[in-house]
């Protein structure tokens, strides 16, 4: 996507051909800072500190992290240790483990002298595939938006967190259909949940929609239900960090409450995911998906730009009040209108998912 006319991805190789460039998302929307990562530790920090975030982007970043680790030490033992370290950085988004497993499977079979080059080629393939998959999600999701645009009517879409191009290598998942609809001249307005505690909606989704010229309004997280009751939301589209084989979807904390409100108000609720976010090994999302618990400081404080222009973090809570910070929740499949994948849209259940991805269907019991 373009920032002020210049095309960007969220991660790319530097001109030196080996170090990794990222946009530091902790600095948005205040400044566009590009970081250069040269070693494994920096990559692990970037993922943990959420300089890069969003399930597909975390996966691509981990892949490049393994490349940097192998460049320093290409032995099998060092590779396994680096992958284990990266896998621990964030637990919920399955894309991280998916990308590492894909590289490890290939590189364990690769002789040491060829390992680094092969790792970089595979990391690039992961990044390029993510872009193509998200583009396809955009086209499939467009078909869900278009019927609301009768006679040039403005379509009102609500989204939670940031599942835009910043959360992926490019295009985004939940925002890809919005970008596709905007390209086709459909008039849109996006309700952007601020998404406490880290405000990915207020800071990142609002920033990227604004850069793309898409009308949007940032709302407090609790406003969505009220807007739905008053007919102000045509549909909800969110991303996910992990979707089980029966269609339960883990996404940023608060997604579940939006799905409940959408169900109560008969507002369609779609979850957009590339296949790298599908975890075919799990069934019951509430019982089985690991939920990241982040620092209480993210709840107790908020960071923003002070009137004098400096970026400042202030405390919101009494200094002795404990805070808790579960970073994701699971929306049960029954609350979803369906899933938007790169292979098309489907109902959120195992049979429909396996209809699109027959290679993951289980053999019938004997």
Residue 25 or 156: the one with the smaller Cβ distance to ligand MRU is 25
Stretch that binds ligand MRU, among 8-16, 50-58, 282-290, 351-359 (CB under 6 A): 50-58
Burial degree of 274 (CB within 10 A; 0-12, 13-18, 19+): buried
Residue 167 or 227: the one with the smaller Cβ distance to ligand MRU is 167
Q: According to the binding rule CB under 6 A, does residue 259 interact with ligand MRU?
A: no
Minimum distance of ligand MRU from residue 192's CB (angstroms): 12
Q: Which residues are catalytic?
A: 241
Q: According to the binding rule CB under 6 A, does residue 163 interact with ligand MRU?
A: yes
Minimum distance of ligand MRU from residue 16's CB (angstroms): 28
3-state secondary structure the chain: CEECCEECCCEEECCCCCCEEEECCCCCCCCCCEEEECCHHHHHHHHHCCCCCCHHHHHHHHHHHHHHHHHHCCCHHHHHHHHHHHHCCCCCCHHHHHHHHHHHHHHHCCCHHHHHHHHHHHHHHHHHHHHHHHHHHHHHHHHHHHHHHHHHCCEEEEECCCCCHHHCCCCCCCHHHHHHHHHCCCCEEEEEECCCCCCHHHHHHHHHHHHCCCCEEEECHHHHHHHHHCCCCCEEEECCCEEECCCCEEEECCHHHHHHHHHHCCCCEEEECCHHHEECCCCCHHHHCCCCECCCHHHHEEEEECCCCCEEEEECCCCCCCCCCECEEEECHHHCCEEEECCEEECCCHHHHHHHCHHHCCCCCC
**Out of 56, 59, 177, 254, the residue judged to bind ligand MRU by CB under 6 A:** 56
Q: What's the rounded Cα separation, in Å, for the pair 210 and 213?
A: 5
Stretch that binds ligand MRU, among 75-83, 186-194, 239-247, 311-319 (CB under 6 A): 239-247
Q: According to the binding rule CB under 6 A, does residue 336 interact with ligand MRU?
A: no
Q: According to the binding rule CB under 6 A, does residue 240 interact with ligand MRU?
A: yes
Minimum distance of ligand MRU from residue 70's CB (angstroms): 25
Long-range CB contact pairs, 227-230, < 8 A, 24+: 227/158, 227/191, 228/158, 228/261, 228/262, 228/264, 228/265, 228/267, 229/265
Q: What's the rounded Cα separation, in Å, for the pair 37 and 220?
A: 35
Q: According to the binding rule CB under 6 A, does residue 199 interact with ligand MRU?
A: no
Binding mask 109-148 toward ligand MRU (x if CB under 6 A, else -) reads: ----------------------------------------
Q: According to the binding rule CB under 6 A, does residue 252 interact with ligand MRU?
A: yes
Stretch that binds ligand MRU, among 12-20, 105-113, 233-241, 354-362 (CB under 6 A): 233-241
Q: Are 98 and 282 in contact (CB under 8 A)?
A: no
The residues, any chain, with a CB within 8 Å of residue 366's CB and separated by 6 or more, are none
The residue sitting closest to ligand MRU, measured at its beta carbon, is 239
Q: According to the binding rule CB under 6 A, does residue 341 interact with ligand MRU?
A: no
Q: According to the binding rule CB under 6 A, does residue 339 interact with ligand MRU?
A: no
- How many residues touch ligand MRU under the rule CB under 6 A: the total is 18
Q: According to the binding rule CB under 6 A, does residue 247 interact with ligand MRU?
A: no
Stretch that binds ligand MRU, among 100-108, 120-128, 234-242, 358-366 (CB under 6 A): 234-242
**Out of 60, 262, 299, 327, the residue judged to bind ligand MRU by CB under 6 A:** 327
Q: According to the binding rule CB under 6 A, does residue 167 interact with ligand MRU?
A: yes
Q: According to the binding rule CB under 6 A, does residue 173 interact with ligand MRU?
A: yes
Q: According to the binding rule CB under 6 A, does residue 168 interact with ligand MRU?
A: yes
Residue 55 or 145: the one with the smaller Cβ distance to ligand MRU is 55
Q: According to the binding rule CB under 6 A, does residue 55 interact with ligand MRU?
A: yes
**Out of 241, 279, 329, 350, the residue judged to bind ligand MRU by CB under 6 A:** 241
Q: Which residues bind ligand MRU (CB under 6 A)?
A: 53-56, 93, 161, 163, 167-168, 172-173, 200, 239-241, 251-252, 327
């Amino acid at each position: 996507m373009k920032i002020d006319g210049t095309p960007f991805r969220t991660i790319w190789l530097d001109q030196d051909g080996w170090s990794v460039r990222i946009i530091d998302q902790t600095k948005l929307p205040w400044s566009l800072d590009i970081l250069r990562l040269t070693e494994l530790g920096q990559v692990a920090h970037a993922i943990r500190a959420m300089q890069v975030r969003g399930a597909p982007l975390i996966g691509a970043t981990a892949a490049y992290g393994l490349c940097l680790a192998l460049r320093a030490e290409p032995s099998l033992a060092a590779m396994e240790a680096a992958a284990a370290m990266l896998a621990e950085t964030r637990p919920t988004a399955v894309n991280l483990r998916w990308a590492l497993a894909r590289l490890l499977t290939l590189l364990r079979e690769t002789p040491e002298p060829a390992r680094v080059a092969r790792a970089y080629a595979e990391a690039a393939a992961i990044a390029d595939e993510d872009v193509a998959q998200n583009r396809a999600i955009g086209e499939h999701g467009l078909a869900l938006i278009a019927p609301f645009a009768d006679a040039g009517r403005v379509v009102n879409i609500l989204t939670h967190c940031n599942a835009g191009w910043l959360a992926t290598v490019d295009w985004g998942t939940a925002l890809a259909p919005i970008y596709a609809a905007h390209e086709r001249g459909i008039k849109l307005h996006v309700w952007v949940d601020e998404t406490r505690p880290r405000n990915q909606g207020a800071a990142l989704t609002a920033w990227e929609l604004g850069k793309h010229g898409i009308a949007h309004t940032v709302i407090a997280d609790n406003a969505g239900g009220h807007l739905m009751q008053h007919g102000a939301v045509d549909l909800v589209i969110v991303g996910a960090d992990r979707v089980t084989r029966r269609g339960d979807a883990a996404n940023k904390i608060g997604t579940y409450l939006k799905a409940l409100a959408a169900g109560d108000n008969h507002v369609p609720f779609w979850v957009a995911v590339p296949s790298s976010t599908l975890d075919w090994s799990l069934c019951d999302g509430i019982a089985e998906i690991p939920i990241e618990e982040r620092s209480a400081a993210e709840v107790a404080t908020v960071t923003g730009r002070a009137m004098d222009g400096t970026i400042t973090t202030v405390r919101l809570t009494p200094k002795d009040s404990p805070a808790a910070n579960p970073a994701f929740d699971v929306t049960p499949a029954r609350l979803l209108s369906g899933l938007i994948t790169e292979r098309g849209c489907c109902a959120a259940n195992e049979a429909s998912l396996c209809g699109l991805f027959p290679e993951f269907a289980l053999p019938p019991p004997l």
